[in-house]
Amino acid sequence: MEQNENFLQVRDLVVEYTSGGQVVHAVNGVSLSLDRGQTLGLVGETGAGKTTIAKAILDILPNPPAKVRSGEILVDGQDILKLSEHEKLKIRGNKIAMIFQDPMTALNPVMSVGEQITEAVLLHNDFTRTQAEARTVEMLEMVGIPGQRYVEFPHQFSGGMKQRVVIAMALACDPELLLADEPTTALDVTIQAQVLEMINDLKTKLNTSMILITHDLGVVAETCDNVAVIYAGKIVEFGTKRDLFKAPAHPYTLGLFDSLPKMDDDSKELHPIPGLPPDPTNLPRGCSFHPRCPRATEACSREGEIPMIELSPGHFCRCIRTGGNN
């Protein structure tokens, strides 16, 4: 799934957590790539490994309990995982930035929002204090917050405004890659639309690449160029936004779409995917989705590693019943 001149390449990433003497298999051989200025959506249920992938790219997984067992994460051809901690600090917040899922916990409650952004600007730029403060005011106003609110504290902002502050902080140093972990989940629909529009505008203005983690397929339709569907720590389907919406192939992807209400459907009930995601400490043999799959056969549980099959140029699916294998 690699393209030419990739800005980001993740190759065979394996991440495990150790908890209570058990090994949690969070990410199991994920490979993906991203071009400059492009947006990749990571879609899947809670616990699929989406946030772990993003944190591994920034190399901020807590160790212990998390451990990157194998794989490479290349940014401009440089393997993040092989850099010294000092070299990583130069990249975090500067070349790669992250919008965390919960702005309540991402912001320091005893520092003004302006000071928190200024701290990041000073760390990654050769600015004077005055220049850094001016940059902070510029970023606050860019996300729709008056510059005079520089001195206010997080508790003085609404949830939507806190999210704007976190976005301003992430973009303050003009990162080349933005990792957005469900940036609109806690927001109401009106504010969600405003924040998404703002992220898209800023991304276009700054030519920033983005990985967007979300449960919302509507957000994917509005924002992403390519989509990776994650299940049990693996990519089970990958393609362009058009591929996924016009010709979804994996039973799990089909299940996600069937779970959505349809305006032209008169039925009174939704059709959720049966069952629950698998226990990551004891993943099923073969295809991890087969216990919940309506199309599963005995072979699905006997197979070892299910390969990715290219259904059309750039559209891949991890299922033995696709690509003529029905």
Kindly report, residue by residue over 81-102, the tens digit of the pLDDT. 999 988 888 888 888 999 887 7
Distance CA 109, CA 152 (A): 10
Could you give the number of structural domains in the chain?
1
Greatest Cα pair distance in the chain? 67
Distance CA 256, CA 254 (A): 5
Asked if the structure places residue 198 within a domain, the reply is yes
Nearest to 176 by CA among 137, 201, 145, 211: 211
What's the whole-number mean pLDDT along residues 38-58?
A: 92
Whether pLDDT at 264 is above 90: no
CATH number at residue 90: 3.40.50.300
Whether pLDDT at 326 is above 50: no
- Alpha-carbon torsion, ordered 49, 55, 58, 60, to 10 deg: -140
Q: Which residue has the tokens 């992220």?
A: 199
**DSSP annotation of 173:** T
What's the whole-number mean pLDDT along residues 197-202?
A: 80
Asked if the structure places residue 261 within a domain, the reply is yes
Query: Is-contact 8 75, C-beta < 8 A?
Result: yes
Q: With H, G, I as helix, E, B as strand and everything else as coil, classify residue 299.
A: helix
Whether pLDDT at 323 is above 60: no
Whether pLDDT at 266 is above 80: no
Q: CA angle, corner 40, sides to 38 and 44, nearest 5?
A: 170
- What is the pTM for the complete model shown? 0.88
Asked if the structure places residue 90 within a domain, the reply is yes
Asked if the structure places residue 274 within a domain, the reply is yes
Containing structural domain, residue 56: 8-95+175-317
**DSSP annotation of 323:** T
Distance CA 157, CA 262 (A): 36
Query: Is-contact 263 78, C-beta < 8 A?
Result: no
Asked if the structure places residue 199 within a domain, the reply is yes
Say which range, 134-138, 222-226, 303-307, has the weakest mean pLDDT.
303-307
Asked if the structure places residue 163 within a domain, the reply is no
